[in-house]
Every structure is written in C-alpha cells, then in structure tokens.
A and B are shown apart, each in its own frame.
Chain A
Amino acid sequence: MSAPLLEIRDVSTFYGAVEALKGVSLTVAPGEIVTLIGANGAGKSTLLMTICGDPRARAGRVIFDGQDITEQPTHRIVRGGIAQSPEGRRVFPRMSVHENLLMGAQSSGINPAPGLEQVFTLFPRLKEREAQRAGTLSGGEQQMLAIARALMAQPRLLLLDEPSLGLAPLVSRQIFQAIRRLNAETGLTVLLVEQNANQALRLAHRGYVLVTGRITLSGTGRELLARPEVRDAYLGGH
C-alpha cells in the first residue's frame, strides 16, 4: 500500500471537558474515497474540523502528505491542500455564486479561472446561476456551490461533511455522481462524512464507523455493507 495522504493517529479532541474524539486513528491513501459513518453526535464533524485545526487535537497527530499539521494554523492547513465543505453548506447568502466561488480560491492565492471552468463543467447548474445570490439558491444548488467552493482551492484532499443532508434522493444521487466523477477523472482524494450510509458505502473504496468518539469498524465499502451491525444500525433494514 502506498504512503497515506492523510494519517490520523490516536487523535483526541475536547470541547471544554467533554471528550468528543477518544483516540481516533484512520488513514486515507492518495486517490481514495473514504467514508466515515456514524450516528448523530458520534463526532464525525468534529473529526473533519480537527483535521483543519479548529478545534485543535489535544492528543495525537494529524499527518498530511508526510507533514505533521497538528499544530498548524487553519489557514496554513487549507493552503497546504486540504479543503472542506462544512456541515450545513454555509454558503455566503448575500454574495453571488460567482463571489462565493472566488472566496474558495482566495486563501491559496491561485488563479481562479481554471477552477471556475472545472466546477462549471462539474455543475452546469451553477454556471446558469452565476450572478444569483447564493442565499436564494435551492438546497441542492447550495450544496453544489459548497462543494464547488471547496474545489476552487484545487485541493489534494477534499473533506465533505454530509453533502446529501436534506436533499431529495435524485439530487443527492447527482451529488454522489459528481464526487465519483471527480475522483475518477482527477484522482482527487475524498474523505466523506455521511448519514446516508448506503449510498456512501457504495461510493467509497473504504469506510470507517465512528461510535461516540471511537472507531469501531473499518473495511472496504462492500465489507461494511455486508456487516450485520452496520445493516442494523445505519441502513435501516435494507
């Protein structure tokens, strides 16, 4: 197996005295789609945020591309090639779609033109709505924008927090297809957090199950789909 692009080693994160992550370890290899599933409050979002250094891990190491980034300031981490589409989309509502996209490219200081072209081929819908205020987009369009905005930084690792949240099945399938396409065509590495375990495990090469701050299971997507405890807890009798 090649050297991992992202390695998380025994990471613990606290909110005050509450330990939200209790020694989590996982790896993501270059070109992989890895999904993280778990119940509400398991600590999935916390893990993605910890990778970006906000909140910071109190114990353990986060290693990206061979470099220890645990203590780096958030903007340095993002500049280093990790982009996140945060939970709940968080587009800038009063700014236009175009301006939102520019914000994505801003911190890395790269020329936005190639990124714009890339995200508009991926999501032609955004091209049509380029001048529209992001706050007036539909939920699905906002999700597309949130992913596109993260892609504008031309990251090597994309962190997606619940991209299918609140979307109709058809739209969420479109989003998953876009992720698959990105991964296949550009070799982008993706760490995907999902409630929709069925779709996520079908899409991902590998997956981890997080239960109250601890990884309890891991394996290929197909393996996890076949595990009875996964079926019972996350697939709702599929």
Chain B
Amino acid sequence: MRPAGTRHLPFGAALRDAGLAALIAAGLFLPMVGLRTDVDPNGALYLRTRWTDVLLLMAIVFAGRFLMRLWQEWKAGRQGPSLGKRFAGPLSRSGRLAAPALLLFAVLLPAIPGIGRYELDLGILVLTYVMLGWGLNIVVGLAGLLDLGYVAFYAVGAYSYALLAQNFGLSFWVCLPLAGILAAFWGVLLGFPVLRLRGDYLAIVTLGFGEIIRLVLLNWVSLTGGPNGIAGIPRPTFFGLSFSLGGGPGTFAGFFGLEPSPTHRVVFLYYLILALALLTNWVTLRLRRQPLGRAWEAMREDEIACRSLGINITVTKLTAFALGAMFGGFAGAFFATRQAFISPESFTFIESAIILAIVVLGGLGSQLGVAIAALVLIGGFEVFRDLQEWRMLVFGGAMVLIMIWKPRGLVGSRTPSVALGERRTISAAMVAEGRG
C-alpha cells in the first residue's frame, strides 16, 4: 500500500468493514475448520479442535478485506468516482487487439521453439474448454437460459463417436457431424419439458438432466460398458493417413517422408480442436448479427416483451438448446478420439460447473472473455498442480478476486451486433442514389 498521507482514507470504515468480514469468516470456519473428527490410535473417534487455524484464517480475511477497502478508496479518490468505467474502457479498447493477438498466438503455438508435447497437450485441453465455453455461451450468455447440465451433451457426443466408430467402423469425419446431430437432438429433447421454466427452476431441471445422462451411461452396461467405459476408440486420421509410428506408406509420416514421431498426432489434434473452436465462434458471431441471434438476446432481456412482439419463444429456445448442445457434442467426439478411452467419470457435474464458471467469469455473452477465462482457469489449474489439495482453495480465491475486480466478468460490456457507422453510410448512399 502507498502511504496515505496525501489523501484522507476512511480507516475507521475500513476497519469496521474488515471486522465484520472476519466475524462472518469466524461463523464459517469455526465449524468447518475449528472442529475435526479424528481417529485416535485405539480406533475411537474423538473431536480435535484447531482454534489457532481458525484465528489465522480470520486474520487473513480481516487483513485482506481491510487492504481491499483501502485500495478501492485510494483508487476511487485518485481517479474519480467510477471504478467500473475505468476498467471497462481500456479493456474493451485493447480487446480489439487482444482477440487477433490471442488467435495468432494459438495458431503459431506449435511452431514456437521450446513448445513440447506437454505444452501442446495443455493447449488442447484449454481449447477444448474454450470450445465448450463458447458452446454453452450460446445457451447461457446469449439466450439467458441457465444450463447446469451442459456436460450431458459433451457425454452424448463422446459416446456417440465411440459407439459409432467401434460398432460400425465409421471414420472420425463421418462420426463428427453425427455426434453433433445426436447431441442437438438431445438438446431439443431437454428443451421441450423446460420451455416454460426460467431461472433457478430451469437450472435444477438441467442439473438433473445431466445426472440422468451420466447415470444411464453408468448403468447401461451392455451398450456403454458401464463404469469400465469404452477403450480402444479409433484415433483420427489425416485424410486417411494414420498417425501410427510404423512409418509405412499408409501413415502420415511415411506419406510425407518424415521421421515418425508421436508429436505429429498431438499437433494434428491441436489444430483440429482449434478449428472446431473457431467454427463455434464463427457460427456464434454470424448468428448474433442475424434475426435468430437477436431473438436469443432479446429473450434473455425480456421474454414477455418478445412474446408481445410475436417472437416464437418455442423455436427461439429450442434452437438455442440445440445449437449449444451440438457444439458440446462436437467437443465430446473430439474428446473421445483424443483420449481413446472414455468413461462416465469424465462427465460429472463438476465439468458442467467449470464450463459455466468459464462463461460467467468471461462475462456472459462475450466471446473473447470466454476464451480468456478458459485460459486462466484451465491453465491456472495446471500451473498450480503442485499445490495439490490447496489447488481448489487457490481456484476459489482467484474466482472471488475476479468477481471483486470485475463484477460483470472479464469482458463485461456488450457490443451491439449492428455497427451503425456502416449502416449510416450505406443508407446515406442509398438516399443519394434515390435522389440522383
């Protein structure tokens, strides 16, 4: 902290505020941390108390809250009253550069020296979540339908690919659209019963739907292999060329006369998921400028007004569910071909929660925000892997910090889908034509 000599800072208010936060922390941590049941050497349960840990946690909360308040006041005093505006400005301006820069980085990543297999695998993971985030963004961010079971469509896509490829010997490129269509079909199926639901009720039903799909996969052993999952899922080919290490004429390395290397497949998978993610983004951006996308956003803003304008709410909702689900299905098919093994364990609620967190942190509806949030969250998970059980704490703390710093998500401002500057010049030209 800068010394506060130049400006009067409300220490009293900050102290009171921090004290209150510490009290709340005490309420939470006393039972959660302070009391712990342990087993003594004789095998009997006993209650262990950890008051010092509670005090430590309270002190951390107190100090954190106190510093945060002072920092906010100091910033506000220095820069004028509107904190939110100050952040919105530079980020949305630099946003115009950030998107192409990120894209360039993503395209060039495999060529950057020092980028090895580990980094590429991490890149694939991040891009998978970027794609899932963009897919869910259609449902939650644009159409405003809170979906807590998105992972179900990811699972449908993955199992569709695995079963179709194994039982019918279909190639990845045939299965990919099929997986998307099947997932979209399930999206519509989910959409029908929830047409009349909104907000928290919708969230509960979609949550249940996600669990139902997982439980079916877990228990329908004859089809899905149950908890054992499906192994030996065919890997993707490059226009019919496999990535096996044999180096024969039918392989990628053999055809191009390269030294066979496992990296080829990783690079190929990387570009595959990058292309799929960009497809999701492109479709979303296109649709936002069209009547359907505009209707999604209008429905998010005010469903009753939409009705009074004659918008067909049924069609609008179902298309949002179907399209979001389809991209989830694509991502699932990719996941299956990349892992070569899937089981219900990969499709638990926590996945839905992470994808939703990416969308919300990204600032509901912002494409760039979703990409950054996926990078921060999934990359962050990886970076803090060494922290082991502390990882979730760091993760939660980071989320809280982001929500304090930018309550509307990383990229919280919405840009209109119609650029008026352009339209004005066009209409001016038309007027001139008509008169001339």
The complex places the Cα of A102 from the Cα of B309 at a distance, in Å, of 11
CB proximity to A under 8 Å, residues B308-332:
308-312
CB proximity to A under 8 Å, residues B289-313:
291, 294-295, 297-298, 301-302, 304-312
CB of A86 within 8 A of CB of B312, answer: no
Which residue of A is nearest B295, CB measured? A106
The complex places the Cα of A73 from the Cα of B310 at a distance, in Å, of 9
The complex places the Cα of A98 from the Cα of B421 at a distance, in Å, of 12
B420 lies within 8 A of chain A by Cβ: yes
CB of A90 within 8 A of CB of B295, answer: no
Of the candidates B297, B306, B416, the one having the most CB atoms from chain A within 10 angstroms of its own CB is B416
In the assembled complex, how far is the CB of residue A49 from the closest CB belonging to chain B, in whole angstroms? 8
Supposing A98-B420, A99-B418 touch, asked if A92 and B305 sit within 8 A by C-beta, the answer is: yes
CB proximity to B under 8 Å, residues A35-89:
49, 52, 54, 73-79, 83-86
CB of B307 within 8 A of CB of A94, answer: no
Of the residues A77, A102, A113, contact of B310 by C-beta under 8 Å: A77
Tell me which residues across on chain B come within 8 A of A107, comparing CB atoms. 309-312
CB of A149 within 8 A of CB of B420, answer: no
The complex places the Cα of A85 from the Cα of B297 at a distance, in Å, of 19
CB proximity to A under 8 Å, residues B387-436:
414, 416-418, 420, 423, 427
Which residue of B is nearest A49, CB measured? B308
Which residue of A is nearest B423, CB measured? A98
CB of B310 within 8 A of CB of A79, answer: yes
The complex places the Cα of A142 from the Cα of B423 at a distance, in Å, of 22
The complex places the Cα of A52 from the Cα of B310 at a distance, in Å, of 9
The complex places the Cα of A115 from the Cα of B202 at a distance, in Å, of 37
A96 lies within 8 A of chain B by Cβ: yes
CB of A99 within 8 A of CB of B417, answer: yes
Tell me which residues across on chain B come within 8 A of A77, comparing CB atoms. 310
For A7-50 the 0/1 string (1 means CB < 8 A from B) is 00000000000000000000000000000000000000000010
- Residues of B in contact, count (CB < 8 Å): 23
Tell me which residues across on chain B come within 8 A of A98, comparing CB atoms. 416, 418, 420, 423
A199 lies within 8 A of chain B by Cβ: no
Interface size band for A: 35 or more
A153 lies within 8 A of chain B by Cβ: yes
In the assembled complex, how far is the CB of residue B2 from the closest CB belonging to chain A, in whole angstroms? 35
A3 lies within 8 A of chain B by Cβ: no
Supposing A77-B310, A86-B308, A107-B310 touch, asked if A92 and B302 sit within 8 A by C-beta, the answer is: yes
CB of A78 within 8 A of CB of B420, answer: no
CB of B295 within 8 A of CB of A103, answer: yes
The complex places the Cα of A164 from the Cα of B427 at a distance, in Å, of 33
Of the residues A74, A83, A95, contact of B307 by C-beta under 8 Å: A74
CB of B418 within 8 A of CB of A90, answer: no
Supposing A90-B302, A92-B302 touch, asked if A78 and B416 sit within 8 A by C-beta, the answer is: no
The complex places the Cα of A102 from the Cα of B291 at a distance, in Å, of 8
Which residue of A is nearest B415, CB measured? A96
Of the residues A74, A113, A131, contact of B416 by C-beta under 8 Å: A131
The complex places the Cα of A85 from the Cα of B418 at a distance, in Å, of 23
The complex places the Cα of A150 from the Cα of B305 at a distance, in Å, of 10
The complex places the Cα of A54 from the Cα of B304 at a distance, in Å, of 10
Which residue of A is nearest B431, CB measured? A117
CB of B417 within 8 A of CB of A103, answer: no
CB of A94 within 8 A of CB of B310, answer: no
CB of A75 within 8 A of CB of B305, answer: no
The complex places the Cα of A85 from the Cα of B309 at a distance, in Å, of 8
Supposing A99-B416, A99-B418, A130-B420 touch, asked if A108 and B310 sit within 8 A by C-beta, the answer is: yes
CB of A92 within 8 A of CB of B310, answer: no
A91 lies within 8 A of chain B by Cβ: yes
The complex places the Cα of A131 from the Cα of B416 at a distance, in Å, of 8
CB of A86 within 8 A of CB of B416, answer: no
CB proximity to A under 8 Å, residues B156-196:
none
CB proximity to A under 8 Å, residues B260-308:
291, 294-295, 297-298, 301-302, 304-308
Can you list 12 A-B contacts with CB-CB less than 8 angstroms, sorted by A residue number?
A75-B311, A79-B310, A83-B310, A86-B304, A90-B302, A90-B308, A93-B301, A96-B420, A98-B420, A106-B309, A131-B416, A153-B310
In the complex, the 5 A-B pairs of residues with the closest C-beta atoms, listed nearest first: A78-B310, A107-B310, A90-B305, A92-B301, A96-B416
Q: A90-B304, A108-B310 are in contact. List 16 more A-B contacts (CB 8 A).
A: A54-B308, A79-B310, A83-B310, A84-B308, A86-B305, A90-B302, A90-B305, A95-B298, A103-B295, A103-B306, A106-B294, A106-B311, A107-B309, A107-B311, A131-B420, A153-B309
